[in-house]
Amino acid sequence: MINLYSIFLYKIKNNPIFMNIVVEGTVGCGKTTLGKFLSEFTNFKLYEELTSDDTSVLLDKFYTDQTRWSFALQIHFLNERFRMIKEINKLSEGILDRSIYGDKIFAEMLHEDDKMTKEEFNTYKTLLDNMLEHIKPPHLMIYLKCSTETAVQRIAARNRGIETSVPMKYWLRLNDKYESWYNEYNQSEKMSLNVNDFNIYDDIQRKEFLNKILYKLDSLRTPEHQKRKKFVQELSKNIKSF
């Protein structure tokens, strides 16, 4: 099944289409899960945030002493996303399961909670602004809208250690900030998908979501629009067998 897509994508490698897709949303909304299906469907590489050995070490240190390690951890995440974006630009395509733009929410919350000093937060913001001057925004940002209650249920189900002990008030606050952030986001085209009752392993629901995403991609008007339109049309033909 996937070989059909691989053959098609191989044919267009000599006429590349720059397509950078970002999947965003609060912790537990299903970014990585949807990203994996999008990656399988489009044959674009998925860049996940929790794949570095340094990330695991810093997260452990952070949860032991958040004030000591918050700045180092946020700079690490910022650097990792910048590296991934540069690689996507070189490859002309890719999917990120969290954006460099939304990452600022976590730094902001740490500063509000006095776990990151004013000087550290200002340094983070300045570095982020400098990085943004050297990267292209995504073609599409897909925001997964999810209630805090649903997100917490999914967090508990995946059982990633320390995550399960985070108090509910933190997740409520984080989701509120994400909602405000999405409403104000204007760096690229965006779309919101309600995933409260979404089961990605259900064939009908998955195809419905993929169709919505393909329709949005097809509507984009950029210099590469005609190339992308042809690409999306070919994917649409194969969606029934996915």
The answer as to whether 83 is a domain residue is: yes
* 94 Rama class: left (phi>0) / alpha (psi -120 to 50) / beta: left
The answer as to whether 70 is a domain residue is: yes
The answer as to whether 242 is a domain residue is: no
Domain extent at residue 120: 2-236
The answer as to whether 203 is a domain residue is: yes
CATH code of the domain containing 187 = 3.40.50.300
Instruction: For residue range 136-146, list pLDDT tens digits in order.
Output: 899 999 999 99
Tokens of 18: 């720059």
The answer as to whether 215 is a domain residue is: yes
How many domains, the chain?
1
Instruction: Give the mean pLDDT of the chain.
Output: 85
The answer as to whether 88 is a domain residue is: yes
Residues 6+ apart with CB under 8 A from 196: 145, 146, 147, 150
pTM: 0.82
The answer as to whether 213 is a domain residue is: yes
The answer as to whether 100 is a domain residue is: yes
Is residue 233 predicted with pLDDT exceeding 80? no
**How many CB atoms lie under 10 A from the CB of residue 34?**
25
More confident residue, 54 or 17: 54
Is residue 11 predicted with pLDDT exceeding 50? no
Catalytic one among 53, 60, 65, 97?
97
Reply yes or no on whether 53 is catalytic: no
